[in-house]
Structure 1
């Protein structure tokens, strides 16, 4: 009897065996099953639909020829072989493109595939299939199981499934989220756990993790994915807000020690436009605060209004954003219950969660010490020899000699060092000592607090070419610390402060968040990162940072409370009342 999977379709082992025996129907079944998901995945790598289609066909042909010939050592790994073949083809295409256009060095080539670090970690598809099937079997209705099997395993689109099952998109969403929420016992804190202050885990974590993987491989599915929240320690003063943006509404999971509940919010038609306008007005203090306050009130009503009563009883807010909400300065939003013009930061601390970003780092020394690096020194703007894509941000700055020194950052670091000396050992590195070599050589590993005051160069077109600007110990020109190098560090820091422009800003991927310069520090093991969403005046930033460390070290406050106190203080100073000076600082926590 032919081996079948639970959906009645041939197993990958059977397909491999039949193709090896020259069965053209099996070849067609292989292409039909994996062609579209493979093309979706490749579109995230190469960005051109026609090229993705070509590479998908090439990868399938390579696999079929392999099966016709020597075959695979383990036919059950057919999908992993196909995924790796397609990834190699995409990587080779990227290398060819950059050689043809810019003749970059090997370092630039390795960063050419913008999303490669995210996609290389993708679990083999057959492993995902097994976990999905196990979870789907727990669903009570046979129709729901069949629908979700076709969605996850068969690659069918939401639109096609709605037509086949004669249901509306809203009905599809209800089935999908019912599966994700699981049994009633899964939807909150286990009995007794809330009272003890234990963490609240995500509902159906295996399925959440799978969705996060498939979000990148299947951007056309019509569903945006809420990443896993992981285990979070909550107390009676804390509330966790987890957002998921759908086409017609916003889903908001509100989690506290009382449990978890799902709130469905109306999605304003102009939500994206409102957020974009607010961001534009916040990038310079010339814009009138009345206009900003009005837009912050509109967004506050949409995102926080229905839960205003619950927020009134809490002092600490954790936000897990989704899609465009990653670029919203939540501290600025107005709560409907508060007086007009009063932002949430006046009454709450606000912290952004980056689920799935933090990995465990082997135990090591974490001395109660602070390291500061500022005003990296170089003598020749053209001393950097790395070749880059012509239209990348860094290539343009080097070409136009747009990299300027930051003497103000040295003043900032020296003032912080003087304040911190009364509390802990301090190591200050400026000029040539603020070097890339020091960092990649493990120089930051043993510090509890890391402060980097330098240029943050954020490239939205080529996120993996974003950089922190540093000195070089071996050349006259500047050196660049890229996200992949940062993520490879082994940090034991409780806090990293990135006192540079737009270090919390980056291109947003559905289901993954912003590809910012802050994020790889979390991946490297840091507990929290203080970053900024836009460029802020150097002098005011130095004053902001000095006040932050006063609250952090002199007053002994947590980073979140120190940030909130500093934002409130800055907002009430005559020359920095405009949100441009204080609302852009955000505190990110990894998990």
Structure 2
């Protein structure tokens, strides 16, 4: 109970319980028993947390002394007490004693656990930051590098993709810190490589695995076996979720054991494929691309602009096609996250509803957006101006909240027009992802004839408006998803309703006319269902088309990001079909598409995970096999979307490249006059990919 109070930050209630627990453990088990020593450590560290340092210090000294006497100097509990003793010395200013204790803890842990055990991470972190505070940069870098080495070793183990994401998220701030130290030491190549290592790692692994299966000569049976493993694991996860809901503990344990055995067999099969097919082994291994190699992936007229963000601290890199790399510590940008959220809110509000009247002296929403465009441009682009202004094409690799910013709308100081007027802009999660997508492009060009367009939209929805789920509803849905991914039951608790989209029907009719001679597949209204999509996938039809368009509602769930989805038909669905094709379900589909256009609302958003980026629909579609994706960063009016998407595809059909076609469409809208010229109507569309 004391631990729970502590975890809830109810420390005043935790302290007396820890005191009582320690006293009773002493009476029952003796002062050197491990459980008593653990209780003593808990009490001392809670005193530290509430600022009672003079009481915490003697208790931690006692804990370390007794654990050495009773358990030995290399026992894990002794090492934990040693580390905590160093922390309290740091708090009370006994700095000359801190480093020797941290060094001793690290040395003993290496002897007990080995050079790359995760138990070393805490000690490495403490040593790195302590040396940094004392101004010994070289020593700090040394321990940060060892920290990264241990994390990389840990990530290479037999972990699920979800576990790798969760694991990496807690450690990625130290990658950022080391990269910033490299910049300060003029080690540009090292700084860039580490920045690449901190971006979209699980996506890279998923892309590499998919590419390996496609290019290494696996038999149809072997490829099917890999898919069967994934399907069986998904089924087991759903069954585990049901046992949790029904309190079937024994059944849960049984299913978890079965899951672990299946994961073990999958890993064994993976090892067999690597031994049998050297190319599979080569392609399965993720390569973090260097600046020199990555420069070869850039178009001749392009510059890569890569950012990494930790809280509001931003680092930037530029890479030219000749391999010239520059690094920039942009420092802490005050209110960055707040400004980005305000930016998106203003843009989406402008589209959604009539704005309240403003006082004469109050700036209009458009004026506020312009001011933010200048402010963000000053911080994010101006320091790079000499390196990027002369390049007609920018490939931007954003990070953290910057992934939800349309750089097209930003402005340089003194310029009246946004940068999209003179620059073509596309996005990619990292340079390493760009290189892998180019390999995917080469594979797809060898596929032979593919259909032109498959579109699905204007589904039949059952409601006349969107419901407003309660906090309780979201909490229940979150628990269901986190326990195993039973999305249908989770959506059932949310009870969402959606308006029909007459504009989507018009959009599909326009696309049907545009691609008439190439016989597109268009599924609308009663055919725009999840059941139909699943059937097309099972028949292998989805893998036969270059372009996809989904003209539907999009559901963004900040509370439960796994439920972010394309919303298909909600009427007359069979049991087990909810009509939501979620980010968690898309990787189960098989695509070989050059472009996916999601003209639904806010499909470019999702959960921001440290070290991964946006973990929503963009990530999921890449894993499914898509190459490029056009997404929306905020809600766009039905009518404007029809005109924008139709104009874009007309250029694409005429042979214009995707980035060029998207840029040209935006510039056309800028010249159309109100309301189309307003950036909130065209800047929401962004392209991720090659």
Category of TM-score, reference length = shorter chain: 0.5 to 0.7
1:326 alignment partner, SS class:
helix
Secondary structure class of the residue paired with 1:216: helix
**1:415 corresponds to 2:492:** no
Please name the residue that 2:166 is paired with: 216
Matches of 2:200 and 2:494, distance apart in 1:
39
Report what 2:684 is aligned to: 584
Q: Is the 8 A contact 2:400 2:608 kept in 1?
A: yes
Choose the corresponding residue for 2:315, options 231, 235, 251.
251
393, 397, 410: which one aligns with 1:320: 397
Tell me which residue corresponds to 1:191: none
Q: What 5-or-longer segments of structure 2 have no aligned partner? A: 1-33, 39-106, 177-197, 202-287, 356-363, 466-470, 479-487
Tell me if the contact between 1:366 and 1:448 (Cα under 8 Å) persists in the aligned partners: no
Which secondary structure state, in structure 1, belongs to the residue aligned with residue 317 of structure 2? Answer: strand
- Describe how 1:114-513 pairs up with structure 2 within 5 A: 154-156=120-122, 160-162=126-128, 164-165=130-131, 167=133, 171=137, 175=141, 216-217=166-167, 219-221=169-171, 222-223=173-174, 224=176, 225-227=198-200, 230=289, 233-246=297-310, 249-259=313-323, 260-285=325-350, 286=355, 287-336=364-413, 339-355=414-430, 367-377=450-460, 390-391=473-474, 392=477, 402-422=497-517, 424-441=518-535, 442=537, 443-471=541-569, 475=573, 479-513=579-613
Residue number in structure 2 paired with 1:81: none
> Matches of 2:404 and 2:136 in 1, distance apart?
27
Task: Check 1:169–1:249 CA distance in 2 against 1; reply closer, same or farther (3 A cut).
Answer: farther
CA distance in 2, matches of 1:544, 1:256: 32
Change in 2 beyond 3 A, CA 1:233/1:251: same
Q: Is the 8 A contact 1:390 1:396 kept in 2?
A: no
CA contact 1:381–1:401 (8 Å) conserved in 2: no
> Which structure's residues are more often helix, by fraction?
2
- The structure that has the greater radius of gyration is 2
**In 1, distance between residues paired with 2:637 and 2:670?**
15
Partners of 2:168 and 2:135 in 1: how far apart?
18
User: CA–CA distance in 1 between the matches of 2:495 and 2:598?
Assistant: 25
| 3-state secondary structure, aligned to 2:548 | strand
In 2 relative to 1, CA 522–238 (structure 1 residues): closer, same or farther, beyond 3 Å?
same
Post-superposition offset of 1:218: 5.3
Determine the structure 2 residue equivalent to 1:561.
660
Distance 2:396 2:136 in 1: 25
Residues 247, 518 of structure 1: CA spacing in aligned structure 2 closer, same or farther, 3 A cutoff? closer
SS in 2 for 1:428: strand
CA distance in 2, matches of 1:374, 1:531: 15
Once residues 500 and 370 of structure 1 are traced to their aligned partners in structure 2, the CA distance between those partners, rounded to angstroms, is 17
Residues 1:297 and 1:567: Cα distance change in structure 2 (over 3 Å): same
The answer (yes or no) to whether the contact 2:562–2:616 under 8 Å persists in 1 is no
Q: For residues 609 and 154 of structure 2, what CA distance do their matches in structure 1 show?
A: 16
Please give the per-residue CA displacement for 1:274-323, whole angstroms capped at 9, x wherever unaligned. Answer: 21221221112245322211111111111111211221221111111111
Name the SS of the counterpart of 1:354 in structure 2.
coil
Distance 2:299 2:428 in 1: 16
1:536 aligned onto 2:502: no
- Contact kept in structure 2, 1:226 and 1:243, CA below 8 Å: no
Secondary structure (helix, strand or coil) at the match of 2:557 reads coil
Q: Is the 8 A contact 1:378 1:432 kept in 2?
A: no
* CA shift for structure 1 position 498: 0.5
**Counterpart contact for 1:397–1:403, Cα < 8 Å:** no
Write out per-residue CA displacement over residues 417-449 of structure 1, whole angstroms, 9 at most, x where no aligned residue: 212225x33111111211212222314221110
Q: Give the 3 Å change call, closer, same or farther, for CA 173–323 of structure 1 in structure 2.
A: farther
The answer to whether the aligner puts 1:519 opposite 2:619 as a matched pair is yes
Query: In the TM superposition, what is the alpha-carbon distance from 1:467 to its structure 2 partner?
Result: 2.1
Between stretches 482-491 and 389-398, larger displacement belongs to 389-398
- Which residues of structure 1 form unaligned runs of 5+? 1-27, 33-141, 183-204, 383-387
**Conserved in 1, the CA contact under 8 Å of 2:312 and 2:337?**
no
Q: CA RMSD in A?
A: 4.3
Rounded to whole Å, the distance in 2 between the matches of 1:208 and 1:557 is: 45
How far 1:345 sits from its partner (Å)?
Answer: 1.0
**Corresponding residue SS for 2:372:** helix
Q: Cα deviations across residues 319-345 of structure 1 (Å, max 9, x unaligned)?
A: 111111111111111134xx4331111
How far apart in 1 are the matches of 2:342 and 2:625? Answer: 35
Q: What is the total number of aligned residue pairs between the two structures?
A: 421
Cα deviations by residue, 1:239-267 (Å, 9 ceiling, x for unpaired):
11121124674221211212123222222
SS at match of 2:636: coil
Which position in structure 1 is the counterpart of 2:207? none
* Helix, strand or coil at the partner of 2:122: coil
CA deviation after TM superposition for structure 1 residue 573, in Å: 2.0
Structure 2: distance between partners of 1:170 and 1:298: 36
Q: Normalization by structure 1: what TM-score?
A: 0.62
For residue 169 of structure 1, report the CA deviation from its aligned partner. Answer: 8.7
Distance in 2 (CA, whole Å) between partners of 1:304 and 1:170 is 32
